C-alpha cells in the first residue's frame, strides 16, 4: 500500500505529473489555456469573447463560507484579466447538523457576495450528505475576457518587478480569528479579535478591483492570486509557470501587524499561510512605480517584493539576516490548526 498524501494541496511535482498523464486536447476544442501548475483558470475561445472558468472549494473556513466561495473564485478570473459574470456552486451539508437556518445563511452569503461583484448566481447543487463535520462549498465562477486581454501566470519576463497588494495574509488572519476565537480570547482583547475577523471584508479577500486598476494602468505581464501555501507558494507557482527565477526581498513583503501576532501565537510562518486578499502583479521595471501609485490612489497599498531573474538562479529570499532559498509550503501552514 502506498503512503497516504498529507493534508493540503498536491505537490507541484506530483500535480505536474498528473496533468501530464491525464490532460489532453481534442480537435476543435477551442481551449486556449489548459491546466498547468500556476495556471488557475481555463480559457475557452467563444468567438467575440473568451470564456474564463474557475473552480475552487472552501474547506478551511466554516464562518461566512458563502462569501469566501464567491470571492476566491472571482479572484482567479480577475487575475487572468477577465470580468467575473456567473457563479455556480455545489453545497454539501453535514448530516444531523443542518437546519434551514444554516442553508439560508450560506445562500444569503453567496447572494450578497455575488451582488457586490455584479455576478449572477446561475446554478449548482445542494444536498445533505454523510461523513461531513462541516459544510463544504465548491464554487465555479465563469467570466469573460476580450481576445488579446488575457493575462497568464506564465508571463513573467526576466527583469520584471513583482508587486504585492495589501499584505499577507488577509484570509488567514480572518480564518484564525473566526475559527480559533476561544483560544485567542485569553491573549487578545475582543476588539482586536473582531478586527481580525473583519479582515474578511476590510481589507477584504477580493482582488478584483486591484486587478482592474493594474491592467488599466500599465501592461501587466502576469498576475497570480496566492491562496493555499501563502505568498511563498504563489511566488513559486508564478516562477514555475513563467520559467524564471525570483530574487525576493523578504523585508519588503508587507505583513500586517494583526497577521504577525496571530501567526506568532500559533507558531505559523506568515509566508506560508493562505493568502487570498493579496495579488501578485508582474510588470516591467519602468511601470512598477506608476502601478503602485495608481493602486495607492484607490486606497490599495502595493509594494515591489521581487525581481525576475534567469531560471538557473532559482528563487531566493533576501532579508537583513542574509540570503537563503525561498521556502516552499506544499501544505499550507494553517492546516496545522485543524
The rounded distance, in Å, linking the Cα atoms of 338 and 274 is: 14
Instruction: Establish if 117 belongs to a structural domain.
Output: yes
Examine the domain organization and report whether 180 and 136 are in the same domain.
no
pLDDT value, residue 160: 98
Question: Domain count of the chain?
Answer: 2
What would the pLDDT profile of 74-105 be if each residue is shown by its tens digit? 999 999 999 999 999 999 999 999 999 999 99
Examine the domain organization and report whether 176 and 40 are in the same domain.
no
Examine the domain organization and report whether 123 and 222 are in the same domain.
no
The rounded distance, in Å, linking the Cα atoms of 123 and 91 is: 11
Look up cell 479572484; give the residue.
75
Q: Stretch 164-171: mean pLDDT, rounded?
A: 91
Instruction: Establish if 8 belongs to a structural domain.
Output: no
Examine the domain organization and report whether 185 and 325 are in the same domain.
yes
Nearest to 112 by CA among 206, 179, 199: 206
From residue 86, give the alpha-carbon distance in Å to each of 4, 73, 215, 224: 36, 11, 21, 21
Nearest to 275 by CA among 124, 172, 146: 172
pLDDT value, residue 322: 94
Q: Where are the alpha helices (DSSP H) in 23-131?
A: 65-79, 100-117
The DSSP code for 328 is -
pLDDT value, residue 182: 92
The rounded distance, in Å, linking the Cα atoms of 323 and 338 is: 32
User: Which range of residues forms the domain containing residue 266?
Assistant: 153-337
Q: How many CB atoms sit inside 10 A of residue 94's CB? A: 16
| Cβ contact 286:278 at 8 Å | no
From residue 153, give the alpha-carbon distance in Å to each of 8, 73, 189, 280: 21, 16, 40, 10
Distance of CA 89 to the CA centre of its chain: 18
pLDDT value, residue 336: 87
Examine the domain organization and report whether 320 and 210 are in the same domain.
yes
Mean pLDDT of the chain: 94
Q: Last residue of some domain: 145, 178, 197?
A: 145
What would the pLDDT profile of 205-262 be if each residue is shown by its tens digit? 999 999 999 999 999 999 999 988 999 999 999 999 999 999 999 999 999 999 999 9
From residue 332, give the alpha-carbon distance in Å to each of 10, 275, 310, 335: 11, 10, 27, 6
- Confidence class for position 39, pLDDT limits 50, 70, 90: confident
Q: Last residue of some domain: 145, 161, 184?
A: 145
Examine the domain organization and report whether 184 and 46 are in the same domain.
no
Instruction: Establish if 13 belongs to a structural domain.
Output: no
Examine the domain organization and report whether 278 and 167 are in the same domain.
yes
| CA-angle at 216, arms to 250 and 243, nearest 5° | 45
The rounded distance, in Å, linking the Cα atoms of 125 and 261 is: 39
The DSSP code for 272 is G
- Confidence class for position 128, pLDDT limits 50, 70, 90: very high
Residue 1: pLDDT over 80:
no
pLDDT > 70: what percent of the chain?
100
Nearest to 11 by CA among 325, 329, 277, 225: 329
Examine the domain organization and report whether 165 and 311 are in the same domain.
yes
Q: What is the CATH number of the domain that holds 295?
A: 3.90.650.10
From residue 44, give the alpha-carbon distance in Å to each of 56, 64, 145, 208, 314: 18, 31, 10, 20, 32
- Confidence class for position 37, pLDDT limits 50, 70, 90: confident
What would the pLDDT profile of 47-76 be if each residue is shown by its tens digit? 999 999 999 998 877 789 999 999 999 999
Taking the model in full, what pTM does it have? 0.92
Q: Last residue of some domain: 110, 126, 145?
A: 145
Examine the domain organization and report whether 99 and 163 are in the same domain.
no
| Cβ contact 214:220 at 8 Å | yes
**Cell (9 digits) for 100:** 434551514
* Helix, strand and coil percent figures for the chain, each rounded to 5: 40, 25, 35
Amino acid at each position: 500500500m502506498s503512503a497516504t498524501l498529507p493534508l493540503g494541496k498536491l505537490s507541484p511535482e506530483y500535480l505536474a505529473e498528473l496533468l501530464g498523464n491525464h490532460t489532453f486536447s481534442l480537435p476543435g476544442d477551442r481551449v486556449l489555456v489548459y491546466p498547468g501548475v500556476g495556471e488557475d483558470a481555463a480559457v475557452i475561445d467563444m468567438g467575440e469573447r473568451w470564456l474564463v472558468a474557475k473552480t475552487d472549494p472552501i474547506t478551511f473556513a466554516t464562518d461566512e463560507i458563502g462569501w469566501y466561495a464567491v470571492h476566491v473564485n472571482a479572484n482567479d478570473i480577475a487575475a487572468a484579466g477577465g470580468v467575473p459574470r456567473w457563479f455556480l456552486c455545489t453545497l454539501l451539508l453535514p448530516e444531523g447538523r443542518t437546519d434551514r437556518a444554516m442553508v439560508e445563511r450560506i445562500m444569503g452569503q453567496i447572494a450578497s457576495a455575488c451582488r457586490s461583484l455584479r455576478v449572477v448566481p446561475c446554478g449548482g447543487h445542494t444536498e445533505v450528505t454523510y461523513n461531513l463535520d462541516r459544510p463544504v462549498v465548491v464554487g465555479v465562477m465563469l467570466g469573460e475576457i476580450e481576445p488579446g486581454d488575457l493575462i497568464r501566470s506564465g508571463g513573467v519576463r526576466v527583469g520584471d518587478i513583482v508587486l504585492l497588494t495589501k499584505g499577507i495574509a488577509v484570509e488567514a488572519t480572518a480564518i484564525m480569528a473566526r475559527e480559533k476565537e476561544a483560544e485567542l480570547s485569553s491573549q487578545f482583547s475582543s476588539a482586536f479579535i473582531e478586527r481580525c475577523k473583519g479582515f474578511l471584508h476590510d481589507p477584504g479577500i477580493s482582488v478584483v478591483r486591484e486587478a482592474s486598476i493594474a491592467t488599466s494602468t500599465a501592461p501587466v505581464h502576469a498576475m497570480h492570486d496566492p491562496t493555499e501555501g501563502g505568498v511563498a507558494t504563489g511566488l513559486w507557482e508564478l516562477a514555475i509557470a513563467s520559467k524564471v527565477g525570483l530574487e525576493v526581498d523578504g523585508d519588503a513583503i508587507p505583513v500586517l501587524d494583526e497577521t504577525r501576532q496571530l501567526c506568532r501565537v500559533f507558531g505559523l510562518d506568515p509566508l506560508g499561510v493562505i493568502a487570498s486578499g493579496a495579488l501578485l502583479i508582474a510588470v516591467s521595471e519602468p511601470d512598477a512605480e506608476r502601478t503602485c501609485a495608481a493602486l495607492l490612489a484607490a486606497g490599495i497599498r502595493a509594494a515591489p517584493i521581487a525581481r525576475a531573474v534567469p531560471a538557473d538562479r532559482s528563487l531566493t529570499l533576501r532579508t537583513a539576516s542574509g540570503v537563503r532559498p525561498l521556502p516552499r509550503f506544499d501544505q499550507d501552514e494553517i492546516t496545522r490548526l485543524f
